[in-house]
Each structure stands twice: as structure tokens, then as C-alpha cells.
Structure 1
Amino acid sequence: MSLAYIGLGSNLDNPVAHVCQALRELNELPLCQLVTQSSLYATRPIGPQDQPDFINAVAALETSLSPLALLDQLQGLEQRHRRRRLRHWGPRTLDLDLLLYGQSTILHPRLQVPHPHMHERAFVLAPLEELVSATHSEPILLYQQPLTEWLKHLEQCDIQRLSEADVTATATV
């Protein structure tokens, strides 16, 4: 089994509900088990600003799927949430990114792990650091630096951790 970290995001059609449902569905993927999940975070979009804010989270998933087979499962889950790719960094009902897969470095035409831009995104690093801190896991290194070092250099004023009450109030479709 390998430990994979999955980034989740949504900004359309009740994004809290999409992310919460996707977290449950990750646990139902073949040969996968959800280990833990971060809080949900509200964040401004990257790229075009003419779209709603995002809800983001990170999940830790134990899997015996290969990285590409896991990617196929994640893309299938996006499709079940009616994901349409209309423009780069555009709005979406669900976005799932394979951030890390064990200690693997993967350079494939369909997949790069670690995710090539994760060290530039507070909406990925903040929930990922929350998981590492909560589980007392070994620090995750990106390009030989711990997550906390990358977070120090990122603007975090546009990221807000949602309370359980906020999630519960908006998590139903």
C-alpha cells in the first residue's frame, strides 16, 4: 500500500457538498482507503477572477493502485460530478489532483508527482500541513524543504479555514 495525498477543489453547484461527497467517494474507490482528511478551506481562484471562490481540502488515501490507475479513478470521479474542462483554471464542480504518491517522483505525459505547482499554492499546502500536524507524521519535504518553509513564503490572507458549523450548514445538495 502507498500513501497518496489528493487535493480537492470545487467552486460550482454547492462546492462544499461536492467536496464532502468526493471525500466519501474516495473511500469507496477500488483498492483505496481514506486515512484522514483536512478541514475545508475557502480560497480565491487562481487565474481568472470572474468565477466564484473555491472550497479546497486535502485527503490522505492508502492505495494499492498504481499512480496512473489512481489518476484514472480520480478523473472518473470528477466526471461523475459533471466536471467540464472549458478553460484553464476555470470554474469546476470538482477538481482532484494527485499531489503526492508515497516518496515517488513521477514524470509521465499524463501525471507529474509531486504536483508541479503545489509548493506555490497555500490552498494545497495549508490543508496538507494540517494533516501532517494532526497525524504527527514525518514532515513532508518538497524540493528538500519542509511544507512550513514553503508556507512562510505564500500569501495566506486569501485562505480561510471553514468551521464545522459552516460545513454542516452547506454540505447538503
Structure 2
Amino acid sequence: MSGRNEVRAFLGLGGNIGDPLTAMAAALRIVDADMSTRVVAVSSVYRTPPWGVVAQPDFLNCVAEIRTTLSPRALLELCLGAERELKRVRTIPGGPRVIDVDVLCHGATTLCEDGLELPHPRMLQRAFVLIPLREIAPDLTVEGLGLDHYLTRADTSGISVAEAGDAWWKG
């Protein structure tokens, strides 16, 4: 992939059943293998208490920075394809899952379409997104404000590093 027309995008990954660390690593490798996309940075993995439906195991979460020439919709389809390949079953919104891959940001794109809203509509309230995002992109601004602004308003309790560094996904 050439550097021309590349967009800086961010993905949020997580899971809490089966082996979520292996599933997140596999999802990142699927995204990275696409000719139009490359992973350029990956955060540490964070252990996070469940959000929403709380009667379930803790989650593992991370964020990846990518460069892509894909449109936002095509990037979402790539992420959903990775989820399908890894046997994601959608039953309860916010419920247990093997893998979840969300498009958080796609350059400066702002949009609201069926099944795709950018920036991700809940990312700015979720510490499990903001903490790993700040780790790899401390300079990022969303809606004109830095990540620290949003982190001061997010509940960070119970979040801890489960796997430090970025080598965990490379297999």
C-alpha cells in the first residue's frame, strides 16, 4: 500500500469469552493482511469491568491505529468480516462476545449512516477506549478536544493493564 491517500484511522477491539487476547490478535492480523490497510500502532491490552450488562466476565480491550485507503464503510466491512471469521455471535447488545472490532475514527470524517457513525458515538464516554487510545495517540483530538478532556469525565475504575506493550498481537 502506498502512502498516497492514506487515512489515519483507529479501531477499538475487545472481547470477554473464549480467548479474547488470541481473537484480538487474529483480528488485527486480518486487518493488517488487507492490501488497503496496515496496522501502525497497537496499545497494551487492558482488563476492563463489563459495561452495560454487568453479569458477565471482565473484558480485554485495546486500540489500534491503522493507515488505510478504504472508505469508512469498506473499513467497517473489513472489521465485520474479521468478526465473522472469528465466529462472533451477536445476541445481547453489550453482552458477552468472543471479539468486537469497532471503527472509532476515520481521519476527520464525521458521518451518521445506518450502522456506522463516526466518530464512534460512545467512544468519548468509555475509559476502556480512551485509555488505550491516549496510549498510542496522545496528540489525537476528537470534536476539537484532546483525549485528556474526555478522560476526566470517564469512569476509569477497575481498568488495569493485562498485557503491556504492543508485541502481543504479532503472533
**TM-score computed with the length of structure 1 as normaliser:** 0.89
Which deviations, in whole Å up to 9, do the C-alpha atoms of 1:48-104 show, x marking residues without a partner? 111111000000111111110111111010001110110110111110000000011
Residues 80/38 of structure 1: CA separation in 2 closer, same or farther (3 Å cut): same
Tell me, in whole angstroms, the C-alpha distance in 2 between the residues paired with 1:24 and 1:160.
Answer: 24
1:118 shift after superposition: 0.4
Q: Which of residues 18, 25, 29 in structure 2 aligns to 1:13?
A: 18
Tell me, in whole angstroms, the C-alpha distance in 1 between the residues paired with 2:164 and 2:46.
Answer: 11
- 5+ residue gaps, structure 1, are 134-138
Counterpart residue number, 1:136: none
Code of the aligned partner of 1:157: S
1:17 shift after superposition: 1.3
- Between the two proteins, the alignment pairs up a number of residues equal to 164
Tell me, in whole angstroms, the C-alpha distance in 2 between the residues paired with 1:119 and 1:164.
Answer: 23
1:45 shift after superposition: 1.1
> Per the alignment, in what secondary structure is the counterpart of residue 160 of structure 2?
strand
Code of the aligned partner of 2:103: L
Q: After superposition, where does 1:11-160 map in structure 2 within 5 Å?
A: 11-133=16-138, 139-160=139-160
- 5+ residue gaps, structure 2, are 1-5
Identity of paired residues, percent? 35
Tell me, in whole angstroms, the C-alpha distance in 1 between the residues paired with 2:52 and 2:142.
Answer: 23
> Per the alignment, in what secondary structure is the counterpart of residue 27 of structure 1?
helix
Aligned-pair Cα RMSD in Å: 1.9
Tell me, in whole angstroms, the C-alpha distance in 1 between the residues paired with 2:92 and 2:150.
Answer: 28
> Per the alignment, in what secondary structure is the counterpart of residue 22 of structure 2?
helix
Tell me, in whole angstroms, the C-alpha distance in 1 between the residues paired with 2:163 and 2:37.
Answer: 27
**TM-score computed with the length of structure 2 as normaliser:** 0.89
